């Protein structure tokens, strides 16, 4: 169900969630707001944050780096992606990323928006001063992936020393 005819968010606006896999998510356009067409969020992360190797069964994932640098592993190949660079992992393709700069700010687009339940299940509401730091709860991330059904965790991050 659409909640309106337009979605407009300024910098810093949108629901903020502390992702328990590391980082601060700001929801820019939710699946409900886009009638399920896509999910768009900004992710602020610190150096060393990485994702396990995983796939999305139902979503294509686009990472657009606003600030900082990522090492993105897609289908067995590592790619350095810096400011204004983009990486796309199509559904079913194994991928992961590692933040290699002191901080990173990434705009993530998932199409369609069906993975939102995973992010909500692996997050907690963030307060005004919350920067997304804190303990990582990989058990909760795994449980949320299993409950959401569309994400499959394949193994640890494929990066040396992560």
Q: Is residue 75 part of a domain?
A: yes
Structural domain span for residue 103: 16-127+135-152
Instruction: Look at residue 111 and tell me if it is in a domain.
Output: yes
Confidence of residue 1 (pLDDT cuts 50, 70, 90): very low
Instruction: Give the C-alpha separation, 54 to 69, whole Å.
Output: 20
What is the band of 162 on the pLDDT scale with cuts at 50, 70, 90?
low
Listed residue (61, 103, 111) closest to 86, CA to CA: 61
- Answer whether residue 157 shows pLDDT above 80: yes
Instruction: Note the pLDDT of residue 138.
Output: 86
Question: Does residue 161 form part of some domain?
Answer: no
Residues 6+ apart with CB under 8 A from 76: 94
Confidence at residue 3, expressed as pLDDT on a 0 to 100 scale: 57
pLDDT of residue 136: 85
Domain containing residue 57: CATH number? 2.60.120.10
Q: What is the mean pLDDT of residues 93-122?
A: 96
> Domain tally for the chain?
1
Structure tokens at 146: 């299993």
> Model's pTM, two decimal places?
0.92
User: Does residue 9 fall inside a structural domain?
Assistant: no
SS3 content of the chain, % helix, strand, coil (to 5): 10, 40, 50
Mean pLDDT (the chain) is 92
| 123 in a structural domain | yes
Percent with pLDDT over 70 in the chain: 96
Each residue's pLDDT tens digit, 38-69 = 999 999 999 999 999 999 999 999 999 999 99
| pLDDT tens digits, one per residue of 131-152 | 888 888 888 988 998 888 788 8
Identify whether 79 is part of a domain.
yes
């Amino acid at each position: 169900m659409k909640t309106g005819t337009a979605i407009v968010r300024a910098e810093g606006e949108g629901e903020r969630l502390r992702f328990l896999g590391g980082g601060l998510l700001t929801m820019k356009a939710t699946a409900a707001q886009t009638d399920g067409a896509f999910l768009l969020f900004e992710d602020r992360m610190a150096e060393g944050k990485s994702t396990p190797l995983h796939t999305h069964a139902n979503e294509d994932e686009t990472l657009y780096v606003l600030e900082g640098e990522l090492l993105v592993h897609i289908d067995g190949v590592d790619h350095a992606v810096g400011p204004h660079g983009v990486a796309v992992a199509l559904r079913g393709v194994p991928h992961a990323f590692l933040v290699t700069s002191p901080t990173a700010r990434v705009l993530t687009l998932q199409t369609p928006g069906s993975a939102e339940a995973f992010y909500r299940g692996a997050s907690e509401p963030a307060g005004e001063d919350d920067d997304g730091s804190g303990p990582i709860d990989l058990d909760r991330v795994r449980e949320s992936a299993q409950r959401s059904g569309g994400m499959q965790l394949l193994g640890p991050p494929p990066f040396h020393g992560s």
